[in-house]
Amino acid sequence: MFARKVSMHLKADRTGDFIEKMENEVIPLLRLQQGFLDEITLISQSGKKVYAYSFWGNSADAEKYDKNVSAQVTSLLAGIIDGTLRIHTYMVANSTFHKMAAAIAS
């Protein structure tokens, strides 16, 4: 499994808009991408700092997304974020999410 961490700052009083944009536009777009597994978005209590983690089946799928779709997501968020996105990539060493998903499904 492979993960992309995107950190960003939101413009003042745009937390609600960001959440709505993620739920209605960004996550549906991610779900269409080959190898996409999950998205977890964390927002600081101040509502200014965001960490968005996307999980992919392998690094090739994440790189394909980065090359072909990432700019579209950045464009969707352009009026909400302040500054540039910072992107870091990781190999996932371990995870309990798959166990949680299996328990919910049963």
Q: What is the rounded CA–CA span in Å between residue 17 and residue 44? A: 15
* Exposed / middle / buried, residue 65 (Cβ in 10 Å: 0-12, 13-18, 19+): buried
pLDDT band at 106 (very low <50, low <70, confident <90, very high): low
> What's the whole-number average pLDDT of the chain?
91
Q: Yes or no: say if 57 and 35 are a contact pair by the CB < 8 Å rule.
A: yes
pTM of the model: 0.88
Look at residue 99 and tell me whether its pLDDT is greater than 90.
no
92 or 51: which leads in pLDDT = 51
Taking residues 5-26, what's their average pLDDT?
A: 96
Angle at Cα 40 formed by Cα 93 and Cα 87, nearest 5°? 70
pLDDT per residue as tens digits for the range 42-75: 999 999 999 999 999 999 999 999 999 999 999 9
